[in-house]
Chain A
């Protein structure tokens, strides 16, 4: 198991498009060390690997397909209220293709 290092914390933060201060980097590692130690103890539980991971709370969800009914769309003016930069009905976004 590769150790979680200061450099790796910065790398992960960078991939998430988040900048971290030195102090924030240290906080990640401090909290992570506790988690790592707890998980190490979990792995000592007999047959833990045979337990099915639990992904949601209820095991009796009923999934139903509803009728395909056309509904009123959201008003474009309402949507644009939260946008800083638009022309007419179009949002201006930064260039993403070099």
Chain B
């Protein structure tokens, strides 16, 4: 890996779970449970980029939000920098939030259209008591420069910027209070490729400069391979495989990881994959999980045990995988 990630753990979760209740309450009908995050245990190391990949509905966004306690977990633990977060009161959590921030996907929806850029950047500073109005103004200018925008834009409104520039503003806002842990939720997914590369380069620069740890949520495997140090693959609320980026891409052990990678269209017409392995069918509903391994209904290698016994994450050949029959490579 090119970045010097420490071995120190900055954030960890243990059996983290978030269930949602939907429907019910009418004519005595029972509500159903969506197991959006269903027992996730992971460790994120200081200054690394940990990518969480998965398809829509797998729970990756919910996991990111629950980790920051933007949503309350149903059960499980979150330890940030030695402090267990789930038991903290609102006041203690507020102080920690300065250090834990999030950059959202949609640079159009996540900035208030009626606020000038200066107000957008000043808001988190003011709410955490950053300093005098003059100091706040100075910090806003500093933040814009940090993300590669000119300070004269402070007086402008969001609609006056392009998508890439807005995402830079979203990043500047997240960095206002000097966090060290940043969740990037599909932060480059809405951008055109030429702009996406610019924003990824900015994120890499900021990480080096400010010693940031990224929890990088995305569905884009190509971005993961080029940007992340370690990867967790999520399927229906569970991590099914975790390892270093090179390990996972060079030797995927879980059939889901392998099929996900095979599905990515390659920008090379000579590599056309008419005969590539392909996942059949559709993702099961998170309200009606199949028994046994959650992936067995789509897995080309499923055997009897997969239909009855839920495999646990285990160490296997250098990374962890939740599969009864990890792939041989």
Q: Specify whether A and B are partners.
A: no
